[in-house]
Amino acid sequence: MKFFASALTVPVSEAICKTWGSIIDQDAAFNLVLRVILSIKTSDIEKTVSQLDRDQIDMLMKYIYRGFENPSEGRSAQLLAWHEKVFAAGGIGSIVRVLTDKKRV
């Protein structure tokens, strides 16, 4: 479980995402985050999210919304579970910050 939190910390770090500029890098980061969050059991989501700071929670919410843009069978339910836990940790402010930020992931 600690491994998954560490695996999420790197790609959702604000500093790393700012230095990645190309679409290829953004897609690679998205695919990495998606692979990590989809491999975490639903019962461990809350524990994993609790180990992230506010900026990382906001970045994770961006990745969740990007995942919603291209729904696929099975993935949407997992993303909704993640959204619920990330929203519980970040509050409405997290959603507002994500939707008003011009930088996409």
Task: Report the pLDDT value the prediction gives residue 63, as an integer from 0 to 100.
Answer: 94
Is the distance from CB of 64 to CB of 84 less than 8 angstroms? Answer: no
Is residue 15 pLDDT above 50, yes or no? no
Q: Compare 99 and 74 and report the one with higher pLDDT.
A: 99
List, in order of start, the domains of the chain with CATH numbers: 26-100 (1.25.40.190)
Would you list the DSSP string of 57-103?
HHHHHHHHHHHHHS--TTHHHHHHHHHHHHHHHHHHHHHHHHHH---
Tens of pLDDT, residues 54-75: 999 999 999 999 999 988 888 9
Strand ranges (DSSP E) for the chain?
Answer: none
What is the value of pTM for the model shown? 0.85
> How distant, in Å, are the alpha carbons of 17, 49, 90 from that of 9?
11, 10, 16
